[in-house]
Amino acid sequence: MDEAAGYPPALPPPLQSGYMPVNGIRIRYGVFGHGRPVILLHGGPANGDALQRHYKVVVMDSRGHGRSTRDKTPYGYDLMAGDVLGLMDRLGIKRAAIVGWSDGAIIGPDIAMHHPDRIAKLFAFAANSNPSGVADIAGSPVCNGFIARAGKEYERLSPTPAQFRAFVAQITTMWQTQPRWTASDLESIHVPTWIVDGDHDEAIKRENTEFMATHIPGAGLLILPEVSHFAFLQDPRQFNESLLHFLSHVPGK
């Protein structure tokens, strides 16, 4: 699918925002709305401005992404999951629904495996359980266009604007080696979960999406039509209606 991903609308003024010290770095975050807490986790190399908001939503830029800082610690999904939990602690959030895209959709299952008491339900869009589940995107004009856009946004937002190539090199090492979840690992997840993807996803192999949905007990599998890895930008109404249905109708503590 060669259709370019559009730009998201600007976020409204947050009820609370700023930088929170977490695990030796500073996480940029914003809180929007009221109600049950929902945490939105973006993919790499994106930032929190690329996600929609619903309910009482916490939007955060992952370490080194957007406006958040990073240190010399090698990237890893366990580390990034710890950042999410650290921000939740700082904000006094004991449990939240997690909505993740791409890298964010991998962080969500990581939390569900290791800290199930902190997650109410999980909506994971475009996750992979193993590096072998990632397709070759070198020839994808949509993915290449997104990465080029992300580089410009990095220069505009990051506290280290000249280090985009170094940043991408660091997260690429993570992508090439993590996660490495087995069927048994996935079977340890017992929070209400939907595994979601677009039917034209350029980056994630369909068989890996189905593998995850098959082995997470009780998980739903949703394949959105006529969209790709960037479904929430290409067809936001379809994506948002699916997400709202999940948040409103799928039971979760």
**Cβ neighbours around 89 below 10 Å, total:** 13
The answer to whether residue 203 is domain-embedded is yes
The reported pLDDT for the residue numbered 48 is 45
Residue 93 has which token pair? 């959030």
Question: Is residue 9 one of the residues assigned to a domain?
Answer: no
**For the chain, how many structural domains are there in total?**
1
This prediction has a pTM of 0.94
Predicted confidence at residue 2, as pLDDT, reads: 53
In a domain, 142, yes or no: yes
Q: Is residue 251 included in any domain, yes or no?
A: no
**Domain CATH for 63:** 3.40.50.1820
Residue 127 to residue 124: CA distance in whole angstroms = 6
Q: Residue 32's Cα: distance from chain center in Å?
A: 18
Rounded Cα distance between 154 and 232, Å, is 20
Handedness of CA 57, 62, 66, 69 (dihedral sign): positive
**Domain containing residue 130:** 16-246
Instruction: Please state, in angstroms and rounded to a whole number, the distance separating the CA atoms of residues 156 and 202.
Output: 27
Rounded-to-integer distance, Cα 85 and Cα 186, Å: 20
- Those residues whose C-beta lies under 8 Å from the C-beta of residue 246, and which sit 6 or more positions away, are 121, 123, 194
- Helix count and strand count (H, E) for the chain: 8, 8
Tell me the pLDDT of the chain (253 aa) as tens digits. Answer: 555 556 666 778 889 999 999 999 999 999 998 889 999 999 865 554 444 445 889 999 999 999 999 999 999 999 999 999 999 999 999 999 999 999 999 999 999 999 999 999 999 999 999 999 999 999 999 999 999 999 999 999 999 999 999 999 999 999 999 999 999 999 999 999 999 999 999 999 999 999 999 999 999 999 999 999 999 999 999 999 999 999 988 998 7
Cα of 151 vs its chain's centroid, Å: 18
Query: How many Cα atoms within 13 Å fall on the side-chain side of residue 236?
Result: 11
Q: Has residue 145 been placed in a domain? A: yes
Q: Tell me if 36 is assigned to some domain.
A: yes
Q: Is residue 123 part of a domain?
A: yes
Residue 195 maps to a domain: yes
Convert 126-137 to b/e letters by CB count within 10 Å (16 or more is b).
bbbbeeebebeb
Residues 6+ apart with CB under 8 A from 122: 97, 98, 100, 108, 109, 112, 189, 191, 192, 193, 194
